[in-house]
Structure formats: structure tokens, C-alpha cells
Amino acid sequence: MLIGMPSTPALTHWDSPFVNFVTFAFPDGLGDACRWVHLKRFHLPAGAPRDDRALLTALIAHPEFRDTYDGAGVWLEPRHGQWWSDRITPDSYLAVDDATATGVIRSWAAPVDGIALPAELDQRLHEAVFTPIHRATSRYELGELPEDAHHDYGPIHMEFHELVLIDRPAGVLTLLVAADD
């Protein structure tokens, strides 16, 4: 470490829950087999800095961040979603409130033609997605990235929504991706 340079806190990957819409019974074939939510949860380090930017920096540097969300898993190459991960910085994330973060996911998850989500899926989204959004002390949404930030085979998703949730009392940072492919 360089003298005078702050160190980046290390995040410890905890788990990666996955909610796949295809596993829920939609009426008359209206199910959306191509929608899913992938959460990657990390334990915050002891004495985690109060500066969220340091935590965003640690997230971007973590190997679990290099995931294209195309089923291939974590890459050695610097890819994240449909972008080159080295084009994503803490400034790429915009602070949002609870209502905005919830609204992003609710509007994305809403099925076509006003059909309600299956009750089991709605319950799973409440537990896995909306409760962590509500409990978070800070919420960030990945903002627009320039067109040249797309990697060599991106964009690969029809919709891609990314939130970072920081829950300081629980000591957890969650990277939440909701997408269609």
C-alpha cells in the first residue's frame, strides 16, 4: 500500500440467492421464463468505513463482480453484465431512496396485460428483494453507462437493473441484478 493512500475494505462473499420466474406457475402460459433476480450478498468488514464510495470500490474490485449474468458465472476477464467492469466506478452508481429502488423492481417485474404475479413469486420477491431494499441504510442504482462501455458481446439482456444495498446494522452489502434474457 502506498503511504497516505486509504486501503480498500475487503468484502467477504456470503451467498448468491437466485429467483427464477420460470419456477413459478403463471396462468395460461403467461409465465415469464426469461426473468430472474440474482442477489450476491457480502459481509461488511469489521470497522467498515462510513464512506459508501469505499464499499462500492470494494464491490467493483471483488471477483464476484465479474459476472456477465448469462449463465457462465464469474469471469477472469473484466466483464460485468453487458459492460466492461473497468468502465464502472463508484460514480456510476446513483443514490436512490427506498421508494425509487422498490419502484424499479416492481415496474420491471410487473407481468404483461395486468395479470398479477403468482402469489408464491410475489412472496419470494417480498422476502428476497423488497425486504432487503426496505432495510438498507443506503441504496444505489447503476446509472447509464456510455455505449462504448459495452463489452464485445454485450448487450445480452433485454432489461438489466442493478441495485447495491448497504445494510450497516446487519453488516451486509447486496448486489441485486434483475434482468430479462
71-101 confidence digits (pLDDT tens): 666 666 788 888 889 999 999 999 999 999 9
Q: Which residue has the cell 420491471?
A: 108
Residue at grid coordinates 457480502: 42
Torsion from C-alpha of 117, 154, 92, 101, nearest 10 degrees: 0
Give the start-to-end residue ranges of the domains of the chain. Answer: 12-180
SS3 content of the chain, % helix, strand, coil (to 5): 35, 25, 40
pTM here is 0.89
pLDDT at 77: 73
- 13-17: average pLDDT: 95
* CA 107/CA 181 separation, integer angstroms: 17
Q: What is the pLDDT of residue 6?
A: 46
Q: Which of 162, 163, 165, 102 is nearest to 130 (CA)?
A: 102
**Integer-rounded Cα radius of gyration of the chain:** 17
* pLDDT bracket for residue 152 (50, 70, 90): confident
Q: Which residues of 38-70 are buried (b: 16+ CB within 10 A; e: fewer)?
A: bbbbbebbeebbeebebbbbbbbebeebbbbbb
For domain 12-180, give the fold: Protein Transport Mog1p; Chain A (3.40.1000)
Question: Residues 118, 102, 163, 17: what is their CA dihedral angle, to the nearest 10 degrees?
Answer: -30
Query: Phi and psi dihedrals of 94, rounded to 5?
Result: -105, 130
Instruction: Give me 157's grid cell.
Output: 439482456
Q: Is the pLDDT assigned to residue 70 strictly greater than 70?
A: yes
* Helix segments in 8-129, DSSP class H: 52-61, 98-109, 119-125
